[in-house]
Amino acid sequence: MNRQRIIVGLSGGVDSSVAALRLLEAGHAVEGLFMQNWAEDEEGYCQAAEDFQDARAVCELLGIPLHRVDFSREYRERVFAAFLDGYRQGVTPNPDVLCNREIKFGSFLAHARRLGAGLIATGHYARTDGSGRLLRAADAGKDQTYFLHAVDRDALRATRFPLGDLRKREVRAIAKAGGLPNHDRKDSTGICFIGERPFAEFLGRHLPDCPGDIEDPEGRLLGRHAGLSRYTLGQRQGLQIGGVAGRPDAPWYVAGKDPQRNVLVAVQGHDHPALLERRLLAAHPHWIAGTPPGLPLDCTARTRHRQPDQPCRVAPAPGGGLAVVFDRPQRALTPGQFIVFYAGAVCLGGATIAAVGDAADTANPPVAVAGGTSLSA
């Protein structure tokens, strides 16, 4: 085989460690790179030091070099700043997508090339075919193409995903059989810079809370919220709406935000009509092929990780955006999040959800509301 020099992004976890092991067993010249993307804070929630020690132990076992680089400044400027800005605007951003595009397949790839390597690898559950196409992983439950849809095709051409054909249980078995010291390490969850702390606590340190009213869709007062940034559409927990006269004793859910009035809109019922919508407007589309497919396009889409594929039609919209109509109503479509498009096993790309329902008919929707008038079936 053609022996290639590949630098693997090692996080200290089992997935990236097995990725390095598989490449080494395939005969490649493998090196590790530990990226610190968030500075350790005084409360100790960030586990960078512990992660680095785990990565170093794996490299010592495998007999490969381990490089270390600090991308904290790049992360704050390219990812965290956009994260905070999204919450200031009343939407719910997804920093993992930006982290992949800007850091893990941007800064990391550039650094690997400075070290003299032409290829990088990660422990993501995804596949490529050598031409830069992004394909779903064999393990549908672990597939991470949703988070990778914004990565440039040139970066995908230079990337290997050694876990793309494996199930998670197989990865654990390989790690144990290979004697990896982290074979039983618990998977990390959540956003790296938040760690295990409560999300609202972290956000409150960076964005001032601005309490306001909670209303129903008809404008009747239901209670008070702690700040719009603390809530996302479809959320049930944390509303603290007590018994409301004339209303049934049923859970309340966030159905919309009105940043101009600082009002949170809530409804009763998991599948309330205000939480269901078929239309959305998406902005800043990124097509992995480099050019958009022929539009209008019938395909499937996800508006959140692990969501089953939803059939839809995608058409061009004014200003370079996309108008999307789903075959069936979708629950809690959320501005700031991403819609990702698929054609079978191929991830085509995605775009940022800008507005939904009736608000999608305007270029600058004033209210990020989940509800609206659906198109007739």
CATH number for the domain harbouring residue 321: 2.40.30.10
Say what the pLDDT of residue 39 is: 73
Catalytic residue check, 192: yes
DSSP character string of 354-374: EEEGGGGGSSS-SSEES--PP
Contacts of 222 (CB under 8 A, 6+ apart): 213, 214, 215, 216, 241, 244, 252, 266
Same domain, 16 and 123: yes
Is 99 among the catalytic positions?
Answer: yes
The edge-to-edge listing of strands for the beta sheet with 368-369 is 221-225, 212-215, 263-268, 252-258, 368-369
Residue at 196 is within a domain: no
Whether residue 20 is found in the same domain as residue 92: yes
55 and 10 both lie in a single domain: yes
* pLDDT recorded at residue 89: 87
Question: Do both 222 and 340 map to the same domain?
Answer: no
- Whether residues 253 and 287 share a domain: the answer is no
Q: Are residues 222 and 308 in the same domain?
A: no
CATH code of 225's domain = 2.30.30.280
Averaged pLDDT in 10-residue chunks for the chain of 377 residues: 85 96 97 88 65 95 97 94 91 93 96 96 95 96 97 97 97 96 79 68 84 95 92 91 79 93 95 96 97 96 96 96 98 97 98 92 46 29
Which is catalytic among the residues 46, 59, 192, 312? Answer: 192
Q: Are residues 46 and 91 in the same domain?
A: yes
Domain span at 53: 5-177
Q: How much is the pLDDT for 44?
A: 52
Six-digit token string for 374: 């659906």
Residues 151 and 263 in one domain: no
Statement to judge: residues 337 and 356 lie in one domain: yes
Q: Examine the domain organization and report whether 139 and 281 are in the same domain.
A: no
Of the residues 46, 59, 99, 312, which is catalytic? 99
Q: End-to-end CA distance of the chain, in Å?
A: 55
CATH number for the domain spanning 35: value is 3.40.50.620
- DSSP secondary-structure letter at 1? -
pTM for the complete prediction? 0.91
* pLDDT attached to residue 376: 27
Enumerate residues 6+ apart whose C-beta is below 8 A from 128. Answer: 134, 135, 156, 157, 159, 160, 161, 164
